Amino acid sequence: MNATLPSHANGAGLGLLSQAAEPTASVHITGLQLGYRGRPVLQGLDWQMHPGQVIGLLGRNGAGKTTLLEALLGLRDVQAGTVRLFGQPATRLDDAARARIGYVPQASDLFEDLRADELLAYFRSFYPRWNGAKVEALMQRWAVPRDVEIGRMSGGQQQRLSIIRALAHEPDLLVLDEPVASLDPLARRDFLRELVEQVLDRGTTVVFSTHILSDLERVAFNVAFLQSGRIGLQAPLDELIDETRLVTGPEPLLATLQGVEVLARRDGRRLLRHVDERSLPPGLVAQRASLEDLFEALT
């Protein structure tokens, strides 16, 4: 797991190191509520993210992942609660704070009548920290055409260009909503490697939603599960996998378990955290939980 990372890199370590330099959370959400047509989507959601964290946001279709990311960026009016980015209200960021944010939406928001070079030149004028060398390297490596109107590009080419635009100004907060949905496996791997380098080099805070669990296992230091309008659990992914066991057996035996954290329960099954397998009574079987097991249980 996290095979693309150096052995010393982990979510907790990077977070603690970065917090020592910058104690203010990059993102601080408190009591967030938002719904549509009388249907609640986010219900009293609390969430914090710190510099140097990579957080994979997981949730079922319709759980509100896109809504949460857009509210986080101040793109949606909320009904209650607060969202602060770099200590400022998300809906009233000053220009300096806005220049610290990169965003790749789920649906392309590129100007389809422009060519890639024209689009990048337009956005470069807004960002004093624009890294032209990075842009040139990524444009060549990811084979994004410069002389084709964006509207005539393939979905994968548009997604690559959107990612380049988001990375070009070396943001301190990078928000990605299904950023690799249109990319082939090799392109996804290359993008994820770039993402990790961004975090290791700059201590960037990254949050991204994806339905491709193998991508999370490759780069996410932390995972957050969105369920019933709240972040039900956030934890370093490696720790969560190491500490969680799927225990099966007769229901009367499972009902006797004490002193463990029950993440989910079904008839004949328990997803348990911090369980000592040696203390389990005969008749119960424990096995290492997979990310798929966690997703099924916690979303």
Q: Is the pLDDT of residue 20 over 50?
A: no
- Average pLDDT value for residue range 56-67: 92
Q: Which carries the bigger pLDDT value, residue 179 or residue 205? A: 205
- Check whether 3 has a pLDDT greater than 70: no
208: its two tokens:
């991204």
Q: Going by C-beta distance under 8 Å and a sequence separation of 6 or more, which residues neighbour residue 167?
A: 102, 134, 138, 174, 194, 198
pLDDT attached to residue 81: 96
Let me know: does 261 contact 233? Beta carbons within 8 Å.
Answer: no
Nearest partner of 220 among 196, 242, 245, 246, judged by Cα: 196
**pLDDT value for 19:** 37
> Cβ distance 221 to 56 under 8 Å?
no
Whether the predicted pLDDT of 187 surpasses 90: no
At 1 the pLDDT is 32
For 165-174, write each residue's pLDDT tens digit: 999 999 999 9
CA pair distance 293, 95, nearest whole angstrom: 43
Given a cut of 50, whether residue 9 has pLDDT beyond it is: no
Residues 142-180 as b or e (16 or more Cβ within 10 Å = b): bebbeeeebeebeebbbbbbbbbbbbbbbbbbbbbbbbb
For residues 206 and 16, what is the distance between their CA atoms, to the nearest angstrom?
A: 15
* pLDDT above 80 (res 111): yes
What pLDDT shows up at residue 12? 37
In this predicted structure, what is the pLDDT of residue 16?
35
Give the pLDDT of residue 174: 94
Q: Are 125 and 132 in contact (CB under 8 A)?
A: no
CA angle 216, 65, 68 (to 5 degrees): 125
User: What pLDDT, on the 0 to 100 scale, is given for residue 180?
Assistant: 78
Element (H, E) at 186: helix 185-202
pLDDT band at 227 (very low <50, low <70, confident <90, very high): very high
Sheet holding 80-85, edge to edge: 39-49, 27-36, 80-85, 88-89
DSSP 75: -
At residue 17, the pLDDT reads 35
- pLDDT score recorded for residue 117: 94
Contact 78, 34 (CB under 8 A): yes
Which has more confidence, 64 or 184? 64
DSSP string, 152-172: GS-HHHHHHHHHHHHHTT--S
Of the pLDDT bands very low, low, confident and very high (cuts 50, 70, 90), residue 7 is very low
Helical (H) or strand (E) element with 84: strand 80-85
Q: Which two tokens stand for residue 108?
A: 């392309």
Radius of gyration of the chain (CA): 21
Q: pLDDT tens, 236-286? A: 999 999 999 999 999 999 988 888 888 888 889 999 998 888 889 899 999
Average pLDDT, the chain: 86
